Amino acid sequence: MLDNLKAGTRLLTAFLTVAILGAIVAAIGIVNMATMNEQAERTHDEELLGLSHAKEANINLISIGRAARGVLVATTPEQVRRFSGQLDNGRRQLHENLDQARPRYTLEIGKKLLAEVDRGLADYEAMLPELLTRAQDLTPEGKTAAAESALGPLAAKANIVDDRLSALAHQKEKRSADMAAASRQRDQSSQALMVALALGSLGAGVGLGFWITRGLTRQLGGAPICPVQVAGAMAEGTLSTVIRPRPGDNGMEQRAGIEQRAGIEQVNMASTQMHEVTRQNAALVEQAAAAADAMQEQAATLARVVSIFKLGNDKPVRPALPGPARARALMA
């Protein structure tokens, strides 16, 4: 069925096939690039920013602890106020970072860790006013009591919050690593698929080119079976061979065969006409020979009639040639 297609149809089919395969490869590449871009944006927005805010909150917790220790060692009211301001600023930044990180923890484990951070932070902040109040007492006894409070229950609460914030950061790091591995695997599978399709497109192009070249070679005389058969029949003296082109032998070879047949018919017609003219000439010769025979008969009769008259110095009449011999003499 495919061998019956014309050259133009074959070229169009090959072009469309290669174009479709190329479009499929390009579409897969575009889709994969869009998917990887979307995943990269989601990784940045959910994982990296969540990790960043969780670590910033942990840093704020450390700054709060540093400010609390500064309050404990302050020796003047001005130093107490300065370290108290740093402590309040650290608390404000800690809550801002937690609020920024909260919507980026969508898994249950992340929500659970955030809830534990909120409970531990509430207990920790509940003890800070007492620390600040004791820090106002600049006497050695007051400083000792404030230090004992800071190094005891307050430090334990701070360690709990620090552990939960570290767990939040670790959870985001794990999610980021998992998403990077999934993106890497998807990229590798996409590359393998695109390479396979590209090789398939190359093979299809080579196969289609061979198919088209084979068809064009047949049509341009690469396998002229029909003309060879016609020439062989003509050499044997057969001038009425019917040309039956093969399927797919359209175009030049078929037209050449038809023109050759028309030329053979013209030669055959000319030969027939020459045969007819020769036959007519033979008939005319026969008629001329018959007329000569009749004239011979008439001449012989006339000679017999006039032979009874004798004239002086008369010579004998030469007998006439026979009819067929005379006809041959006339033709010669």
So what's the pLDDT on residue 80?
Answer: 81
Look up tokens 């396979």; give the residue.
196
35-39, 78-82, 287-291: segment of lowest average pLDDT: 287-291
Q: How far apart are CA 254 and CA 245, in angstroms?
A: 6
Rounded-to-integer distance, Cα 87 and Cα 271, Å = 125
Model confidence at 14: pLDDT above 90: no
CA distance 91 to 63: 9
Q: With 90 as the cut, is the pLDDT of residue 33 above it?
A: no
Q: Which has more confidence, 155 or 307?
A: 155
Domain ranges of the chain: 2-217, 227-331
Please give the pLDDT value at position 92.
Answer: 93
**Band (330; pLDDT cuts 50, 70, 90):** very low
Closest CA to 56 of 22, 13, 104, 24: 104
The 10s digit of each residue's pLDDT in 79-108 is 888 888 998 899 999 999 999 988 888 888
| pLDDT of 13 higher than 60 | yes
Region 257-271 average pLDDT: 71
User: What's the rounded Cα separation, in Å, for the pair 113 and 175?
Assistant: 15
Q: What is the pLDDT of residue 327?
A: 46
142 vs 328 pLDDT, higher one: 142
- What is the pLDDT at residue 243? 60
pLDDT tens-digit profile of 182-239?
878 887 887 888 788 778 877 877 877 777 676 665 554 444 455 556 666 666 766 6
Please list, in sequence order, all residues whose beta carbon lies within 8 angstroms of the beta carbon of residue 53, skipping any fewer than 6 positions away.
97, 98, 100, 101, 104
Write down the mean pLDDT value for the chain.
75
Q: What average pLDDT score do residues 296-319 get?
A: 62
